[in-house]
């Protein structure tokens, strides 16, 4: 780069460019370049610098962006330009508690659709298009009215509504695998993203630089993170992953919150600290949930088990092997009662006895209606086995299921009342359906049902 250069003026303008002179004079200091152009370097130097940034974990890290004349101004300009493009995508998320009920969902692609309730029908109001990969997670913050989405494109977007238009803000997660799950914190000042990169990205807004930055929780996660849930204190974060573990980490970020008070899970909570780890299950942990008090955490795994850890009982873990197919989602509806659902396509009630420290099944909440159907003859039964691999007529197809959902239930959300005294909860399924359940109506309809 230290070659002599000569100036050449552009016709009709005052800009000046430089090109190497062909003389062999001794080298002299590099001439001044036009504003906005970074000094050029050789290909080898670029490769060495990129490798060094990757080793240090600063590859495209906005939180560690350098300052000074050699900062990558061009890279930052191109990065922020991408946030001004038109929006693109999401997955499925519960009804938002607002004067006009709204729901954000993704029709199994890279788009997010927002529906508003008009009378007894849901009408599409907005389409969010910014992702270029399959949407895997959506969460709507009810207080700040912001939507966060993540997808297979390894990025997250925070959507804010202004003058009736949803505008996205790009969040660089610094992961090399698809994002799988996203969840706002209770105070809505940060959110966590699970991914296939065996880490959790905890993102928060840096007002000084006007961008979202993230920190990583890596150890000791050894597989894909499938589910996340925040403790009510806005600091602790529960995670379920494919390494058969349920863990609780500290996600304390001093830049956006005060030092947390001690909890039953521990008193020292630096960022990334492992507060709890359990290997009671023998399958992928599909769902995890804190209770309203935060002293209990429950999770469901692929071996059809429900587990609950009680911090008030020295982290004692209660395990119940259910008779259902694997459960995918769960939520607390009271401090001692949970609702879970999964591949059986109907919600199931579970109850925790704090005195004995045991879990018990409360039964199925979606009780099928009695139908008067004639019995099948032996000939018809064998014909169905041969044609549909079913001995019960149309039970092989979704239309023959006696449950309200006709495919697996992938998500359960508290709609009103909170986790302490839930009055309504919502289930969404892979059949494209959404059902709202009233707890009082369930108690009156099912005589043996007792929600504690």
Give percent of the chain above pLDDT 90: 59
Average pLDDT over residues 390-416: 74
Average pLDDT over residues 19-48: 50
Check residue 83 and give its pLDDT.
34
1-31 tens-digit pLDDT? 444 444 444 444 444 444 444 444 444 444 4
Q: Which of 27-36, 251-260, 397-406 has the lowest mean pLDDT?
A: 27-36
The domain tally of the chain equals 1
Buried b (16+ CB within 10 A) or exposed e, 90-100: bbbbbbbeeee
Strand partners, 426: 413, 436
- pLDDT over 80 (residue 330): yes
Query: For tokens 């692929």, what's the residue?
Result: 302
Q: Is 224 helix (H, G, I), strand (E, B) or coil?
A: coil
For residue 392, is it within any domain?
no
Residue with more model confidence, 167 or 95: 167
Closest CA to 187 of 248, 136, 235: 235
For residue 167, is it within any domain?
yes
User: Predicted confidence band at 49 (pLDDT cuts at 50, 70, 90)?
Assistant: low
291 contacts 308 by C-beta, under 8 angstroms: no
Average pLDDT over residues 355-362: 92
Task: Give kind and range of the element (H or E) at residue 380.
Answer: helix 378-388
Task: Give kind and range of the element (H or E) at residue 75.
Answer: helix 73-82
For residue 79, is it within any domain?
no
CA distance 400 to 392: 9
Check residue 66 and give its pLDDT.
40
Q: Which of 55-64, 216-225, 322-331, 436-445 has the lowest mean pLDDT?
A: 55-64
Burial environment of residue 59 by CB neighbours within 10 A (0 to 12, 13 to 18, 19 or more): middle
Chain Cα centroid distance, residue 11: 55
CB atoms under 10 Å from CB of 57, counted, come to 11
Check residue 130 and give its pLDDT.
95
- pLDDT over 60 (residue 77): no
In the DSSP assignment, the letter for residue 423 is S
Range of the domain at 162: 86-172
Check residue 103 and give its pLDDT.
92
User: Predicted confidence band at 400 (pLDDT cuts at 50, 70, 90)?
Assistant: low
Check residue 366 and give its pLDDT.
82
For residue 443, is it within any domain?
no
Check residue 442 and give its pLDDT.
86
Kindly write down the DSSP assignment for every residue of 238-304, as one continuous string. EEEETTS-EEEEE---TTTSPPPPPBTTBS---TT-EEEEE---SS-EEEEEE-SSSSEEEEEETTS
Tokens of 264: 């039953």
Residue with more model confidence, 90 or 236: 236
For residue 19, is it within any domain?
no
Check residue 88 and give its pLDDT.
33
- pLDDT over 70 (residue 390): no
Q: In this structure, what are the phi and psi dihedrals at residue 388, rounded to the nearest 5 degrees?
A: -120, 5
154-175 tens-digit pLDDT? 999 999 999 999 999 999 999 9
For residue 94, is it within any domain?
yes
Closest CA to 210 of 69, 76, 86: 76
CA distance 220 to 59: 22
Residues 6+ apart with CB under 8 A from 371: none
For residue 22, is it within any domain?
no
274-317 tens-digit pLDDT? 999 997 778 999 999 999 999 999 999 999 999 999 999 999 99
């Amino acid at each position: 780069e230290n070659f002599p250069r000569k100036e050449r003026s552009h016709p009709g303008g005052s800009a000046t460019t430089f090109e190497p002179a062909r003389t062999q004079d001794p080298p002299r200091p590099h001439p001044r370049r036009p504003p906005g152009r970074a000094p050029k370097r050789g290909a080898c130097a670029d490769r060495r610098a990129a490798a060094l940034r990757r080793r240090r974990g600063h590859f495209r890290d906005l939180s560690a962006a350098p300052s000074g004349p050699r900062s990558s101004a061009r890279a930052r300009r191109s990065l922020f330009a991408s946030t001004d493009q038109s929006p693109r995508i999401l997955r499925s998320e519960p009804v938002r508690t607002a004067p006009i009920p709204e729901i954000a969902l993704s029709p199994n692609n890279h788009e997010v659709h927002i529906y508003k309730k008009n009378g007894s029908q849901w009408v599409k109001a907005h389409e969010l298009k910014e992702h270029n990969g399959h949407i895997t997670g959506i969460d709507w913050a009810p207080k700040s009215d912001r939507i966060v989405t993540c997808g297979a494109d390894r990025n997250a977007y925070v959507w804010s509504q202004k003058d009736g238009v949803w505008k996205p803000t790009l969040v660089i997660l610094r992961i090399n695998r698809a994002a799988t799950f996203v969840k706002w914190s209770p105070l809505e000042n940060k959110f966590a993203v699970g991914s296939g990169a065996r880490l959790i990205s905890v993102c928060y807004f840096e007002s000084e630089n006007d961008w979202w930055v993230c920190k990583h929780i890596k150890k000791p996660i050894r597989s894909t993170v499938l589910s996340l849930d925040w403790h009510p204190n806005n600091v602790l974060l529960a995670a379920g992953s494919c390494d058969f573990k349920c863990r609780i980490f500290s996600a304390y970020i001093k830049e956006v919150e005060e030092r947390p008070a001690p909890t039953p899970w521990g008193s020292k909570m630096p960022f990334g600290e492992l507060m709890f780890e359990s290997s009671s299950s023998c399958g992928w942990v599909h769902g995890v949930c804190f209770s309203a008090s935060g002293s209990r955490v429950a999770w469901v795994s692929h071996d059809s088990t429900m587990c609950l850890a009680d911090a008030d009982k020295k982290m004692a873990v209660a395990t119940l092997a259910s008779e259902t197919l694997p459960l995918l989602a769960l939520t607390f509806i009271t401090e001692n009662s949970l609702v879970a659902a999964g591949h059986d396509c109907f919600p199931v009630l579970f109850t925790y006895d704090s005195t004995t420290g045991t879990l018990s099944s409360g039964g199925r909440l979606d009780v099928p209606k009695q139908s008067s159907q004639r019995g099948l003859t032996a000939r018809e039964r064998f014909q169905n086995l041969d044609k549909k691999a079913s001995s019960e007529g149309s039970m092989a197809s979704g239309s023959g299921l006696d449950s309200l959902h006709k495919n697996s239930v992938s998500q359960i959300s508290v709609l009103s009342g909170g986790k302490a005294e839930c009055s309504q909860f919502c289930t969404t399924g892979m059949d494209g359906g959404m059902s709202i359940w009233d707890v009082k109506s369930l108690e009156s309809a099912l005589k043996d049902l007792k929600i504690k």
